[in-house]
Structure 1
Amino acid sequence: TILLQSLATVRGQLIDKETGKPFKNREIRYGVHVHIGDDNAPFQTQYGGTTFSDESGHFELEHLVVGPEYHITLVNRPEDQPDRITWQPVKKITLKDSHPLDLGRVEVEPPYQPPTLEERIAAAFVLKKTPLERFTYDRKIGGLTMQYPLILFGEPESKAIRELLALRFEDDEISSKLDSYLVIPVDTTESKRTAAQALAEAMGIKLNFDSAGLELYVTDTSGKQRAHADLAALSTDGKVSQKKLLKFLETNQVPKLDARELLDAALKQAKEQNKRVIVQATATWCGPCRRLSLYLDGERKLSERDYIWVKMDYRWTGAYKIMEKMRGGAQGGIPWWAILDKDGKAMVTSTTEAGENIGFPSSSSDREHFRGMLEKTAIRLNDMEINELVEGLKQKD
């Protein structure tokens, strides 16, 4: 028996929420999300089509059926990069019958416009702390993330700064090398010079306040200077050189570690001291990873009674393969972490019974899962101390 039913039509008018004007001649796609697996799995949009709004922003979707949830999406194609397509969700609808449905005015946020290079440069020099406070903070963070402070002194509107930051933001090779650094742009224009000078004095350096120049310093996490380059050292024919900047970053980057050696050393120590090993998958760009690292570092006095902490940074040789095998297909992003026994067997992980990764345990349910991880693996810690560790998460929330 084949059941047939009438098809429905949906109409509406796309309106720019910011200006109140219609979105003219815009590409619209619609359809049903068909997941390749459960509801959290990747999906394809099927059983729909493509249409366009007219000069007044009106559109019409045809051949919709009753029951399924349809997703209406606006397709954005930047004029200067027509192949760079982004999809902007507009509305979800579920038809209860086959009568034509008029959505009326459908307000849509204007398409995302990436900041210009000028805007990115200006934003880079806006520090929430003074340069000296930022340097002090980044030294602490760098000790946890294995990154060096990279201090850039210069005037934001100068030609040299624009050329260097254009490479930072737009050159893939340069961007890939910046994983080793925490970049601190410091404005040296006359009105900001006092703050810049305070940082320079703390670093033990003398700045050359040349409005057309720049100064790059790399320090270790104790504040000791590792390298310095000025405009002359980084330029060719009066322009900042990509090759020279790349060589400077490569020469002074954090040495790569071997993930297997790190893990083996932690397991050896665990056997000798009768402890467990906390293995954390992490990356320099991951905010929750940083929060978890700050928490674990702050609780060392208590946690190190039972646990040795080792970080599997994806920059380290072999880290990805080690964590891929340890996760065993567990879903979720990073930080993902596990507590191992002294033989390297995972006793508990940050994956819940529902298959979700708690990452940094910020919710009450996440913290309860973390409590369970400690209760199942603690050797010397008592219930009061475990509770203290769990409560400590709230201070980092």
Structure 2
Amino acid sequence: MMRHLFVLLLSLSSLGLLAQTKEQAPTAEAILQPTLAKAKEGGKNVLLLFHASWCGWCRKMDASLADKTIQPLIAKNYEIAHLTVYESQNKKYLENKGALEFLQENGGAEKGLPFWYVLNSEGKVLASSEISQGNNSGCPATEEEVAYFLSVLKKTARLTDAELETIRVRFRQNEK
């Protein structure tokens, strides 16, 4: 009996240690405020991406933005921030407190992931991935989604036609 009790207590203490290693993610404000300050300092806007660990299209969006052909073009115009939402029950600790509320307040909740906004350095929403009422362009891939994304970039960044074409070509690869 004592041996079983010892094993049970050891197991429970191990679970406690595991739970402690899963630190709660920073709040949305803790991520967004320094990003806005950096954008203001650099004369840029913010590309705010909402994602989740299970989201394949979110990974495609990140890969596209990090692609060596377009990363410098995006970086000269935007500070990028990621906020995590809609995690599975066992990964809720990855969510940024306040992120879902931001989505809800700005019309992006329940429209799928990735969902993105372009904000000015004061935090005002300039554009979102909502291509039409209720339709999220997410990670642009189709001709229509990429055209919409480029229209947002034209309004919120200083990019030449050649640079926009480079971005168009890269994002069209997502449809394959």
Q: 1:156-182, CA deviations, whole angstroms, 9 ceiling, x for partnerless residues?
A: xxxxxxxxxxxxxxxxxxxxxxxxxxx
Q: Name 1:305's counterpart in structure 2.
A: 76
Q: 1:219-264, CA deviations, whole angstroms, 9 ceiling, x for partnerless residues?
A: xxxxxxxxxxxxxxxx936xx94x3553343232255212112111
Which of 384, 388, 397 is 2:166 aligned to?
388
- The unaligned stretches of length 5 or more in structure 1 are 1-234
Which one-letter code corresponds to 1:282 in the other structure?
Answer: H
Q: Name 2:96's counterpart in structure 1.
A: 316
Which one-letter code corresponds to 2:151 in the other structure?
Answer: G
Asked whether the equivalents of residues 150 and 168 of structure 2 are also in contact (C-alpha less than 8 Å), the reply is yes
- Deviation (angstroms), 1:364: 1.3
Measure the CA separation in 1 of the matches of 2:20 and 2:110. 37
- Deviation (angstroms), 1:330: 6.3
- Secondary structure of the corresponding residue to residue 376 of structure 1: helix
Q: Name 1:270's counterpart in structure 2.
A: 39
Alignment of 1:73-222 (within 5 A): none
Pick closer, same or farther for the CA change 1:278–1:249 going to 2, 3 Å: same
Structure-1-length-normalised TM-score:
0.37
Measure the CA separation in 2 of the matches of 1:396 and 1:246. 41
Pick closer, same or farther for the CA change 1:321–1:386 going to 2, 3 Å: same
- The unaligned stretches of length 5 or more in structure 2 are 1-5, 86-94
Which one-letter code corresponds to 2:81 in the other structure?
Answer: V
Q: Name 1:60's counterpart in structure 2.
A: none
Measure the CA separation in 1 of the matches of 2:7 and 2:66. 44
Measure the CA separation in 2 of the matches of 1:246 and 1:262. 29
Q: Name 1:246's counterpart in structure 2.
A: 15
Structure-2-length-normalised TM-score:
0.79
Alignment pair present for 1:287 and 2:56: yes
- Deviation (angstroms), 1:396: 3.8
Which one-letter code corresponds to 2:103 in the other structure?
Answer: M
Q: Greater Rg, structure 1 or structure 2?
A: 1
Greater percentage in strand: 1
Greater percentage in helix: 2
Asked whether the equivalents of residues 280 and 312 of structure 1 are also in contact (C-alpha less than 8 Å), the reply is yes
Instruction: Indicate the percent of aligned positions where both proteins have the same amino acid.
Output: 28
Q: 1:125-174, CA deviations, whole angstroms, 9 ceiling, x for partnerless residues?
A: xxxxxxxxxxxxxxxxxxxxxxxxxxxxxxxxxxxxxxxxxxxxxxxxxx
Which one-letter code corresponds to 2:83 in the other structure?
Answer: M
Q: Name 2:105's counterpart in structure 1.
A: 325
Which one-letter code corresponds to 2:140 in the other structure?
Answer: P
Q: Name 2:89's counterpart in structure 1.
A: none
Measure the CA separation in 2 of the matches of 1:310 and 1:260. 11
Measure the CA separation in 1 of the matches of 2:109 and 2:27. 24
- Secondary structure of the corresponding residue to residue 317 of structure 1: coil
Which of 341, 348, 354 is 2:127 aligned to?
348
Number of residue equivalences: 158
- Deviation (angstroms), 1:307: 0.5
Asked whether the equivalents of residues 339 and 348 of structure 1 are also in contact (C-alpha less than 8 Å), the reply is yes
Q: Name 1:339's counterpart in structure 2.
A: 118
Q: 1:72-94, CA deviations, whole angstroms, 9 ceiling, x for partnerless residues?
A: xxxxxxxxxxxxxxxxxxxxxxx
Measure the CA separation in 1 of the matches of 2:50 and 2:173. 22
User: More displaced, 369-378 or 252-261?
Assistant: 252-261
Which of 368, 377, 380 is 2:156 aligned to?
377
Asked whether the equivalents of residues 277 and 339 of structure 1 are also in contact (C-alpha less than 8 Å), the reply is yes
RMSD of aligned residue pairs (Cα, Å): 2.3
Q: Name 2:65's counterpart in structure 1.
A: 296
- Secondary structure of the corresponding residue to residue 310 of structure 1: strand
Which one-letter code corresponds to 1:359 in the other structure?
Answer: G
Q: 1:191-220, CA deviations, whole angstroms, 9 ceiling, x for partnerless residues?
A: xxxxxxxxxxxxxxxxxxxxxxxxxxxxxx
Q: Name 1:257's counterpart in structure 2.
A: 26
Pick closer, same or farther for the CA change 1:386–1:249 going to 2, 3 Å: farther
Pick closer, same or farther for the CA change 1:318–1:393 going to 2, 3 Å: same
